[in-house]
């Protein structure tokens, strides 16, 4: 599918974001925004975007860390399937994660949604979003912020869905019109059982459509085949759940 993936450059208020755009063919399709994990846009993320595109979607994957450099410049240079290498890289990446504030990224996401709609072949109407790790949190935040612009939003092994401050994503749940899906990692210290319970209580209170599932035995980052925490069964389960979510909400009868 390489011939159907291209690199875009998207002007933002703070610079230019590089992004991948994957499509299954030259036809018209609904749009999906894929929000990367903390490791960034790299071959595994491209592979995932192309897989999702093969279901009949046009998928945009922005480099959320564009303020720090192009995706290729920020990509890991060591084998992250080695646990020690992953630990070192994540230690280096954490400052980028912490520095990406909602005040920065919410306007960025608005720009990415507009850019996706402007791409040839993207059918008008609400889009889908999916995100991983920090991108899972942002997928949820996007759904809560942009309401009817997003019809389906998924978050996998997400961190920061519930925090102690007034800006916690779970407190914004009532803003979502999308059907939501959460694929929690069972062994994830960044998203413990009590946080999942608090999230689900907030979603129930907000009366939004959602599914919240814990992937037994899976660790934080289970979808990422280029890291030491990859779980093949959990990754396949995630693809199945995501496809069902997108097809149910984006595919016309």
pLDDT tens profile 225-252: 999 999 999 999 999 999 999 999 999 6
As a whole number of angstroms, the distance between CA 129 and CA 156 comes to: 11
pLDDT value at residue 19: 98
Distance of CA 213 to the CA centre of its chain: 17
| Residue closest to 170 by CA, chosen among 151, 195, 134 | 195
pLDDT value at residue 2: 46
Note the pTM of the prediction, 2 decimals: 0.97
pLDDT value at residue 3: 53
Domain of residue 42 covers: 2-250
* 11 has a pLDDT exceeding 80: yes
The two beta strands, 15-22 and 5-12, are antiparallel
pLDDT value at residue 142: 98
Residue reference for tokens 């085949």: 225
C-beta neighbour count of 51 within 10 angstroms: 15
Q: What is the mean pLDDT of the chain?
A: 96
pLDDT tens profile 39-71: 999 999 999 999 999 999 999 999 999 999 999
CATH number at residue 217: 3.40.50.1820
As a whole number of angstroms, the distance between CA 225 and CA 230 comes to: 5
DSSP H/E element including 93: helix 83-99
The tally of domains found in the chain comes to 1
Distance of CA 252 to the CA centre of its chain: 23
pLDDT band at 1 (very low <50, low <70, confident <90, very high): very low
* 9 has a pLDDT exceeding 70: yes
As a whole number of angstroms, the distance between CA 69 and CA 171 comes to: 32
pLDDT tens profile 78-113: 999 999 999 999 999 999 999 999 999 999 999 999
């Amino acid at each position: 599918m390489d011939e159907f993936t291209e690199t875009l450059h998207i002007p933002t208020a703070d610079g230019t974001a590089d992004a991948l755009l994957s499509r299954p063919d030259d036809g018209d399709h609904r749009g999906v925004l894929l929000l990367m994990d903390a490791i960034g846009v790299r071959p595994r993320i491209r592979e995932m975007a192309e897989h999702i595109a093969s279901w009949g979607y046009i998928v945009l994957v922005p480099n959320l860390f564009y303020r720090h450099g192009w995706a290729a410049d920020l990509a890991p240079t060591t084998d992250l399937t080695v646990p020690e290498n992953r630990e070192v890289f994540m230690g280096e990446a954490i400052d980028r994660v912490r520095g990406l504030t909602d005040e920065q990224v919410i306007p960025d996401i608005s720009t990415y949604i507009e850019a996706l709609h402007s791409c040839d072949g993207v059918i008008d109407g609400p889009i889908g979003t999916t995100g991983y790790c920090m991108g899972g949190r942002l997928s949820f935040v996007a759904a809560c912020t942009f309401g009817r612009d997003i019809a389906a939003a998924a978050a996998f092994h997400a961190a920061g869905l519930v925090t102690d401050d007034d800006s916690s994503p779970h407190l914004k749940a009532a803003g979502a019109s999308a059907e939501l899906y959460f694929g929690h990692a069972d062994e994830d210290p960044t998203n413990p059982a009590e946080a999942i319970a608090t999230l689900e209580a907030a979603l129930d209170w907000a009366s939004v459509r959602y599914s919240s599932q814990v992937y037994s035995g899976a660790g934080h980052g289970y979808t990422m085949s280029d890291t030491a925490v990859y779980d093949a069964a959990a990754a396949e389960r995630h693809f199945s759940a995501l496809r069902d979510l997108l097809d149910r909400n984006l595919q016309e009868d």
